[in-house]
Amino acid sequence: MSHSDKEITYDSKVEGGVVTSRLDSIINWVRSNSIWPMPMGLACCGIELMAVGASRFDISRFGAEVMRFSPRQSDCMIVAGTVTYKMASAVRRIYDQMAEPKWVIAMGACASTGGMYRSYATMQGVDRILPVDVYVSGCPPRPEALLDALIKLQKKIGTERSAKQLVSA
């Protein structure tokens, strides 16, 4: 058993059946390797999001294949597509319904900045209504780029002070 930042290490000769680690690392390790995404497929990027989940790119290699359309069951919202003002309220409401801890990936130019749709109807970036953790560039981003974003998010989760947050919450 090992983790990229070597916070959890295990040597059976020395320790037998015991693992020592910081609580933070364990929580983060668990959290970051079983992210349940909420696929917020709004437009064209949603198709690439489907491709990430399907056979070739296979998001389950990163422990995030359990796409849940119910916000209550998911912890990472992937906003894939153009957020219009009309849709913005719905996106925010869904975000509000997600249980803590939660993260957001803004997938594609539209979700990040409004992209090529500079018009009266389009919200210029979903970060106006939600806190975004990782932005992915591209119109649409390649599936690899989304996987990269997922890895970045996992790294980010790895640095969180989870135990403290749990106690204070």
Site for ligand SF4, rule CB under 6 A: 43-45, 81-82, 108-110, 115-116, 139-140
**With CB cut-offs between 5 and 8 Å by kind, which of ligand SF4, another protein, none does residue 109 bind?**
ligand SF4
Which residue's CB is nearer to another protein, number 141 or number 158? 141
**With CB cut-offs between 5 and 8 Å by kind, which of another protein, ligand SF4, none does residue 50 bind?**
another protein
Percentage helix, strand, coil for the chain under 3-state DSSP, each rounded to 5: 45, 15, 40
56 touches another protein (CB under 8 A): yes
Task: List the one residue out of 57, 99, 10, 169 whose CA is nearest residue 2.
Answer: 10
In three-state secondary structure terms, 8 is coil
Give min distance, CB of 139 to ligand SF4, in A. 3
Amino acid in position 87: M
Which residue's CB is nearer to another protein, number 109 or number 134? 109
121 touches another protein (CB under 8 A): yes
How far is residue 19's CA from residue 1's CA, in Å, rounded to a whole number? 10
Which residue's CB is nearer to ligand SF4, number 49 or number 157? 49
64 alpha carbon, distance to own chain's centre: 9
Window 97-116: residues binding another protein (CB under 8 A): 114, 116
- Taking CB under 8 A as the criterion, the residue among 89, 99, 164, 165 binding another protein is 89
Q: Is the CA virtual torsion 28, 30, 34, 38 positive or negative?
A: negative
72 touches another protein (CB under 8 A): no
Q: Which residues of 142-164 are buried (b: 16+ CB within 10 A; e: fewer)?
A: ebebbbebbeebbeebbebebee
